[in-house]
A and B are shown apart, each in its own frame.
Chain A
Amino acid sequence: MSESHTPLLTTPLDSLHRELGGKMVPFAGYAMPVQYPTGILTEHLHTRAAAGLFDVSHMGQVVIEGDDPAAALEALVPGDVQALGIGRTRYSVFTGTNGGILDDLMISKLSPTKLFLVINAACKHADFKHMQDWLAGCSVTMLDDRALLALQGPKAAEAFAAIAPESVGQGFMTIREYDVAGIPCLVTRSGYTGEDGFEISAPAARAEELARALLALDGVRPIGLGARDSLRLEAGLCLYGSDIDTTTTPVEGDIQWIIGKRRREQGGFPGAAVIQAQLADGARRKRVGIKPDGKAPARAHTEITDLDGNVIGEITSGGFGPSVNGPVAMGYVPAAFAAPGTKIKLVVRGKALDAAVVSLPFTPHRYFKG
């Protein structure tokens, strides 16, 4: 436990988490609330039924400015950033020279000369150096003085409108600047739960004021990292470092949809040769949804075998899905086993349990379509 020797960083909402009874745990070098007194199960179900507020201020927020930052960034990511419209947001990854994934991220285009990125906490310093090294002619700035809050759930939009009237009608995967409870914010309509919602970047100095205003809204409760993980798992969304990492390509990770058509043809991103070959010929293995037949959860690193007991892969994320009311998982299997309905076995505590490959997500996405 190397973390125990390094003082943990805190987010601008640290004292609020403690006041709300958050159980603080180390996560990516930060003290973060894994849950509040009601517990992960209740928090998860509340987010699916009403609205949850998440502190994700540990994530990195970066601005890239230059004459053409979209063209420059395409040297590091396989997405078509040049075709991204002003005010639009897109999911992407940084690829390595072997085609593996260095991190996943959200890219928003604020103007032709300015991009806004959100990157993972555990990768943010490496990502920042990577961008500084490779984005010639651009200035790359880490916004260390900003907090990031996520408001997620079917009642998020209605509640949010009361203090952010300009959010009404904001499209899914778009970014806008407006005041929330009188605080200037940068807001994307996006999230990591499979539900409708917003991710709100605000000045750190006013983060607690913003969080209190959001928590005062009808149906909004604070939600910890535990439910954030179970919500994203049910939604079939990847956790970097578990479901995708430097050893998995976007094709193997089944997120090849992030690679723009022009980029597939032209390449020009790290690992393009490997990824283009996999797009043409198929990958040897693939990330799939896995549903255990019984009630026992199969956790990350559980061995996957075929019906004869030959090891064919490993679970990368797995646990109990509160909305599914049963175990859910994701993992990698050879291409021949990737079709939904394929029977497999999971070795849990020495016992081979029945399971099947299933389509993702486990719970339908309910993003804003207005």
Chain B
Amino acid sequence: MTIRFTKDHEWISVDGTTGTVGITDYAQHALGDIVFVEVPEAGRELIVGGDAAVVESVKAASEVYSPVSGTVTEGNAALADNPALVNESPEDQAWFFKLTLSNPAELDELMDRTAYDAYVAGLE
């Protein structure tokens, strides 16, 4: 299992060609109280950096971009009923969607945990 991060604060955890995507703790903290989440349906084709999901706080709506290209296998239905889970467990229970990677080489463009932590530290 490898975990990689984007500059837009998405994480992707990869096991073989299956990826699980969510937003980071930094992202949920910056957004504040999450009140609405829209995740992609199974079967939807995503491209790297393309719109994949929507997350809304009281203040504003934000797009969640797909860290890699692939086909969605499952959206996390629990988030529709309990958007606050994104604040409580952003990097575990509140995953947004799972997908089958079509080009695993795209992972090489993403940051590992150490690089992401340094990136976030530079933003503060």
Residues in A lying within 8 Å of B, measured CB to CB = 34-35, 39-42, 44, 226-227, 230, 295-297, 299, 319-320, 322, 327, 349
Interface CB pairs A-B, < 8 A, 10: A40-B33, A40-B57, A41-B32, A41-B58, A227-B58, A295-B80, A296-B36, A297-B56, A299-B61, A322-B58
Nearest chain A CB to B16's CB is how many angstroms away? 32
Residues in B lying within 8 Å of A, measured CB to CB = 32-33, 35-36, 38, 54, 56-61, 80
Closest to A322 in B: B58
Contact B61 A320 (CB under 8 A): no
Contact B36 A320 (CB under 8 A): yes
Residues on B with C-beta less than 8 A from A41 are 32-33, 35, 58
Contact B36 A40 (CB under 8 A): no
Contact A296 B58 (CB under 8 A): no
Distance of A320 Cα from B32 Cα, bound (Å): 13
Residues on A with C-beta less than 8 A from B59 are 34, 40, 226, 319
Nearest chain B CB to A133's CB is how many angstroms away? 37
Beyond known contacts A319-B59, A320-B58, A322-B58: 5 more, CB 8 A cutoff? A39-B32, A226-B58, A296-B36, A297-B61, A327-B36
Closest to B37 in A: A295
Closest to B54 in A: A349
Contact A320 B56 (CB under 8 A): yes
Closest to B33 in A: A41
Query: Which of B33, B36, B54, B58 has the most chain A CB atoms closer than 10 A to its own CB?
Result: B58
CB within 8 A of A40: which of B38, B54, B58, B80? B58
Contact B32 A297 (CB under 8 A): no
Closest to A227 in B: B58
CB within 8 A of A297: which of B33, B35, B80? B35
Nearest chain B CB to A120's CB is how many angstroms away? 20
Closest to A230 in B: B58
Distance of A42 Cα from B61 Cα, bound (Å): 19
Nearest chain A CB to B50's CB is how many angstroms away? 13
Distance of A296 Cα from B37 Cα, bound (Å): 8
Distance of A226 Cα from B59 Cα, bound (Å): 7
Residues on A with C-beta less than 8 A from B32 are 35, 39-41, 226
Residues on B with C-beta less than 8 A from A295 are 36, 80
Nearest chain A CB to B23's CB is how many angstroms away? 17
Closest to A296 in B: B36
Distance of A220 Cα from B23 Cα, bound (Å): 34
Residues on A with C-beta less than 8 A from B56 are 296-297, 320
Residues on B with C-beta less than 8 A from A320 are 35-36, 56, 58
